Amino acid sequence: MPLRYSSNFDTAGLDAREWDVIIIGSGIAGLYTAVNLDSGLSVCVLSKETMDENNSYLAQGGIAAAIGQDDLPAYHYEDTIRAGAGHCNAEAVSVLVNEAPADIDALCRLGTNFDRNPDGTLTTTREGGHRRFRIVHALGDATGREVVDSLLKACRKKPNIEIIENCFALDILTHNGKCVGVLACANSNAAVLETQVVFYGKSIVCASGGIGQVYKHTTNSEVVTGDGIAMAYRAGAVLSDMEFVQFHPTAFYKAHSEGSSFLISEAVRGEGGILKNNKGERFMPGYHEMGEIAPRDIVSRAIFSEMRKTGSPCVYLDVTHREGGYLRKRFPTIYERCLLEGIDITKDYIPVCPVQHYFMGGLKTDLYGRTNVAGLYACGEAANTGVHGANRLASNSLLEGLVFGRRCAEAIMEETARGDLDKPVIVSSEKKKGLITDVSQVREVLRQEMNDHAGIERNGLEMAEALARIEKIVEKLEKTALGSVAAIETLNMAVIASLILQSAIQREKSSGSHFRTDSQ
């Protein structure tokens, strides 16, 4: 049994506020849920840091939707199911692909400025695993930024929505088996855990994103530490598919760097980029008939295998055959960022390697984002709707956030947000030994363990040994008073790491992103 609450508190002594709906997370899924809620409901969106610090904001590639003349939702469905390696929930995929075009239209009406062709139609590109051009994008390669900014503007026009930045959600409060609110720390940047507050709500939406920082190398933002998934787990929510962690094939490789890596969008390969090993040889056609745009798990493993064969820490992405002006316009963010690292993508090969990118697992939901805990909904990367299976198809993540965020809003309007607000006094008073605030070393150990034993290739024996070590970390953190936001994040990370390992050990056969060297 997990610890019920990560800190001790008594809500009777805390400042309290109340809303109809509380949304934890300010990425695309959270903001789109908020704008789709009736204006008569009071809504609060909690952002752990500032609004531009989340994975949605960093998303480059785009949003998949069958909007082209030669495309159909049925083709998008086939590609999603194929990439998911037999693990997708077919009904959820059907909802996703059929409702995608309407949500793209809705975004356009809200003011999202997608890139367009001279005739005014939306420009589409292709990425790994897609057999059609169906990915809409914005600002060339800054789709997430444009969508978040436009949703934020839409939220700010609605007086019923309040956005609170720099507010760290510590735990989801439950009473008599129902979700009643969120315990939060009002200043997420404070060095010590201070100013606990209680936010009561009739419906709570967990849209807190993924788990990237559990790994040593990730494309994810620094704030993505799996908090929402861990606190919902403590509140009794069922998790699923925890073993399925996606590695993006092409993060910018920089020697001796750790933490967040800069992404080189799959769209670069979609627009003709070629992968070469350190001898300058193209290798992808030898691994898959779709070459560079094979599904992501296959490209990541192929790169990993080339790196091992050649003893090199990276491979190279060559897009120099495309015209310079075109590249600068189509990929302005990547062009500028690579230049800062001394690489001119119009002339030089880009050094790349696979790093953690996306989490397919998470809070198990139905087709309207409902979890098993009454009043608790989930959407976006924190949720496991079943659309991604064992390997997410490129550019289906922002889409999932939109489709299922809107569906969460629909369910909330029908259900919990109309009931009475329950404001029970809740007390947590676990016996703790000592106080811990600086967790930097524990975090390092954890991230190294996951890097070494729960990465692109896994084996049962090593995972079992790593799990035993991580369980000791969890136990220690659970028994100690956690005196900083970083310490609570680290508990969340350790819990998520142990759950990933437990699931990965149980799944003995390889599937999609979960590749076991000790059993095929």
Active-site residues: which are they? 296
Q: With CB under 6 A as the contact rule, which of the stretches 25-33, 390-398, 482-490, 498-506 interacts with ligand SIN?
A: 390-398
d(CA 90, CA 88): 6
Q: With CB under 6 A as the contact rule, which of the stretches 33-41, 183-191, 394-402, 504-512 interacts with ligand SIN?
A: 394-402
Residue 30 Cβ vs ligand SIN, minimum distance, rounded to whole Å = 18
Residue 332 Cβ vs ligand SIN, minimum distance, rounded to whole Å = 14
Q: With CB under 6 A as the contact rule, which of the stretches 102-110, 262-270, 333-341, 454-462 interacts with ligand SIN?
A: 262-270
Residue 397 Cβ vs ligand SIN, minimum distance, rounded to whole Å = 5
Nearer to ligand SIN, 201 or 209 (CB): 209
d(CA 449, CA 494): 11
User: Does residue 356 interact with ligand SIN by CB under 6 A?
Assistant: no
Say if strands 350-359 and 245-252 run parallel, antiparallel, or are unpaired.
antiparallel
Listed in sequence order, the residues at least 6 apart from 502 whose beta carbon sits closer than 8 Å to its beta carbon are: 242, 467
User: Does residue 115 interact with ligand SIN by CB under 6 A?
Assistant: no
Of 100, 343, 359, the C-alpha closest to 213 is: 359
Q: Which of residues 358-377 bind ligand SIN (CB under 6 A)?
A: 358
Residue 287 Cβ vs ligand SIN, minimum distance, rounded to whole Å = 18
Residue 262 Cβ vs ligand SIN, minimum distance, rounded to whole Å = 12
d(CA 39, CA 183): 25
d(CA 297, CA 299): 6
Q: With CB under 6 A as the contact rule, which of the stretches 5-13, 259-267, 328-336, 483-491 interacts with ligand SIN?
A: 259-267
Nearer to ligand SIN, 391 or 484 (CB): 391
Cβ(374)–Cβ(179) under 8 Å? yes
Which ranges in 123-214 belong to alpha helices (H)? 143-156
Stated length of the chain: 520
- Select the residue whose beta carbon is closest to ligand SIN and give its number: 61
User: Does residue 394 interact with ligand SIN by CB under 6 A?
Assistant: yes
Q: With contacts defined by CB under 6 A, how many residues of the chain interact with ligand SIN?
A: 9
Q: With CB under 6 A as the contact rule, which of the stretches 176-184, 265-273, 279-287, 373-381 interacts with ligand SIN?
A: 265-273
User: Does residue 265 interact with ligand SIN by CB under 6 A?
Assistant: yes
Q: Which of residues 395-454 bind ligand SIN (CB under 6 A)?
A: 395, 397
DSSP readout, 270-318? HTT-EEE-TTS-B-GGGT-TTGGGS-HHHHHHHHHHHHHHHT-S-EEEE
d(CA 169, CA 401): 20
SS (H, E, C) 428-474: ECCCCCCEECCCHHHHHHHHHHHHHHCCCCECHHHHHHHHHHHHHHH
Question: What are the respective helix, strand and coil percentages of the chain, to the nearest 5?
Answer: 40, 20, 40
Residue in this structure with the two tokens 């030994």, named with its chain if needed: 433
- Single residue of 60, 218, 365, 416 touching ligand SIN by CB under 6 A: 60
* Cα 36–chain centre separation: 21
Residue 398 Cβ vs ligand SIN, minimum distance, rounded to whole Å = 7
User: Does residue 267 interact with ligand SIN by CB under 6 A?
Assistant: yes
Listed in sequence order, the residues at least 6 apart from 66 whose beta carbon sits closer than 8 Å to its beta carbon are: 72, 73, 75, 76, 97, 100, 101, 132, 134
User: Does residue 211 interact with ligand SIN by CB under 6 A?
Assistant: no
Of 398, 359, 349, the C-alpha closest to 382 is: 359
- Single residue of 20, 146, 149, 266 touching ligand SIN by CB under 6 A: 266
Nearer to ligand SIN, 142 or 499 (CB): 142
Residue 228 Cβ vs ligand SIN, minimum distance, rounded to whole Å = 19
User: Does residue 55 interact with ligand SIN by CB under 6 A?
Assistant: no
Residue 373 to residues 47, 370, 407: CA-CA distances in angstroms? 22, 8, 17
Residue 61 Cβ vs ligand SIN, minimum distance, rounded to whole Å = 3
- Single residue of 25, 27, 30, 61 touching ligand SIN by CB under 6 A: 61
- Residues in contact with ligand SIN by the rule CB under 6 A: 60-61, 265-267, 358, 394-395, 397
